[in-house]
Amino acid sequence: MAKSLTKKFKMTKRVFSYPYILFMLLFVVVPLVMILVYAFLDNDHQFTLSNFQTFFTSRSSLYVLGNSLFVGVITTAICLLIGYPAAYFLSKSKSGGKVMVLLFILPMWVNFLIRTLATKEIFMAMNVELGMGTVLFGMVYNYLPFMILPLHTVISGIDKSYTEAARDLGADDLTTFFKVILPMSVSGILSGITMVFIPTISTFAISQLLSNGKIFLFGDSIELKFSQDMYGVGSVMSLVMLVFVLVSSFIMNRYNKNKNVGRTLW
């Protein structure tokens, strides 16, 4: 009897996945299903498409979406311009490189609301007017590590024999960078862009705090719709955000697939 019970409750690798599966069902799948259902329901819980019509015909909603995309593109571009050189030099640094990477990671250990409030206090102490400039600064400050980390990982993983071969063939440092290092780090660039762009257009606290409510982004609009009990329209806007996430994931997976096929053929 004891042996049969032991066989039934034998600890295997699959058993350790059960808590994760339960967590995903409760806190990922169920909320997504609820958002999908509420997108097609009105306040009387009747099937309707008016929520989609309200969003796609509202100039204010489309303006907020466009404004969020603008902030997301600018923030991502600035993070890439700053993050790529930082990741490149950190990956080449033999002494102190790991310490510098740790310094970039340390701010992520502090709650982003606390970081944003501290940034706001600094601007107010310096008499800097809160607006689009301060919002962009806050976005870059909060999401720059998400650009540096994947870039640093990819660049550090590039085999040094490629750069050595390029130099043996007569290529200078600039040619080696553009012909070897940059093409081989595209996966890190795409990963960093995804990890910065999606959170930027969906955030709401940073834009509200660093502009005193002057800058209204897509995440702010979603939060406002739910606070006003407009669950249908808020769910539609959440689905729009989900589409951006899925498109970004599709692009990343498609690129990685093509990259692996190219390596296999080579």
- pTM for this one? 0.82
* pLDDT digits 0-9 by tens, 101-121: 777 777 778 888 888 999 999
pLDDT at 263: 47
* pLDDT digits 0-9 by tens, 35-49: 999 999 988 888 999
Percentage of residues in the chain having pLDDT higher than 90: 28
| The listed CATH number (1.10.3720.10, 3.40.1160.10, 1.10.540.10, 2.60.40.1180) that belongs to domain 59-265 | 1.10.3720.10
Does the pLDDT of residue 15 top 80, yes or no? no
Does the pLDDT of residue 136 top 80, yes or no? yes
Q: In whole angstroms, what is the distance from residue 203 CA to residue 166 CA?
A: 43
Contacts of 207 (CB under 8 A, 6+ apart): 71, 135, 215, 216, 217, 219, 220
* pLDDT digits 0-9 by tens, 254-266: 766 665 544 443 3
* pLDDT digits 0-9 by tens, 213-228: 888 888 888 888 888 8
Indicate the domain borders of the chain.
2-38, 59-265
* pLDDT digits 0-9 by tens, 80-93: 999 999 999 888 87
Helix residue ranges, H only, 9-49: 13-24, 30-38
Does the pLDDT of residue 166 top 90, yes or no? no
Residue 6 pLDDT class (50, 70, 90 cuts): low
Which residue's entry shows tokens 């706001």?
120
pLDDT at 109: 82
